[in-house]
Amino acid sequence: MKLIIFVLTIFCLGVTMEAKAQSSEANSQNDRKILVAYFSWSGNAKALAGQIAQATGGDLFEIKTSIVYPNTYNACTEVAKQEQEKNARPILSGSVENMAQYDIIFLCYPNWWGTLPMGVFTFLEAYDFSAKTIYPLVTHGGSRFGRSLDDIKKLSPKAIIGQGIEISAFDRDPSDSPKVKVPNTKVTSWLNTLGLTK
């Protein structure tokens, strides 16, 4: 009888310790501060960034250049191409307050000429992302991530690049329809897989 009681006691202790460990891990997840940074021309990346911020409780930040891009697709792509050829770093019109407080960065952007818009290059070079986890989300018209993941790694070599997601959402003129629909089910599944929903 004493042996049975002893075994049951050990079992109960094990279950309690496991529950505490899971609770501690969950609290640790919830304690991490999240920033959702996005660059958007057509509104697609902005809409998806808003979904992420709402689902995770993260702070939203728009990566906005001081120059205004043309509001027609062909004209905008020409400007974007010229910036890339010059390896330009467009000036940003705002900055993140206290980047050091954030542990996780969701980075949302369109694929422009096979990589990040040059304003996102400016953003990534402006801060120290050491030991922070960057989760990339790219909107694209068929080129997927292109070489943007490699560029993120080069620009933020001390960051941890987490599992990203590609969303097919062709960048039409900002005044055109349709825009990407939110909530996007692929993004919802991605966030659930990452375990970062509030």
Domain edges within the chain: 33-194
Q: Cα-flanking dihedrals φ and ψ of residue 168, to 5°? A: -75, 110
**C-alpha–C-alpha distance, residues 140 and 160, integer Å:** 23
Convert the pLDDT of each residue in 67-87 to its tens digit: 999 999 999 999 999 999 999
Q: Strand 59-62 and strand 133-140: pairing?
A: unpaired
> DSSP 3-state assignment of 126?
helix
Contact 41, 174 (CB under 8 A): yes
What's this model's pTM, rounded to 2 decimal places?
Answer: 0.84
**C-alpha–C-alpha distance, residues 119 and 127, integer Å:** 13
- Other beta carbons within 10 angstroms of residue 136's beta carbon come to 21
Instruction: Provide the pLDDT confidence category of residue 171 given band limits of 50, 70 and 90.
Output: confident
Convert the pLDDT of each residue in 111-161 to its tens digit: 999 999 999 999 999 999 999 999 999 999 889 999 999 999 999 999 999
Instruction: Provide the pLDDT confidence category of residue 17 given band limits of 50, 70 and 90.
Output: very low
Amino acid at 54: Q
The dihedral formed by the CA atoms of 181, 184, 186 and 191, expressed in degrees to the nearest 10: 150
Position 30 scores a pLDDT of: 57
Between 131 and 176, the more confident residue is 131
Query: CA-CA distances (angstroms) from residue 172 to 26, 41, 43, 106?
Result: 40, 9, 9, 23
**C-alpha–C-alpha distance, residues 57 and 36, integer Å:** 9
Is residue 8's pLDDT more than 70? Answer: no
Overall size of the chain counted in residues = 198
Contact 45, 38 (CB under 8 A): yes
- Give me the mean pLDDT over the 6-34 stretch: 49
Amino acid at 77: T
Between 7 and 102, the more confident residue is 102
- Considering the domain delimited by 33-194, tell me its CATH architecture: 3-Layer(aba) Sandwich (3.40)
- Give me the mean pLDDT over the 29-42 stretch: 89
Could you tell me if residue 56 is left (phi over 0), alpha (psi between -120 and 50 degrees) or otherwise beta? Answer: alpha
Q: List the one residue out of 114, 137, 130, 131 whose CA is nearest residue 39.
A: 137
Instruction: Provide the pLDDT confidence category of residue 176 given band limits of 50, 70 and 90.
Output: confident
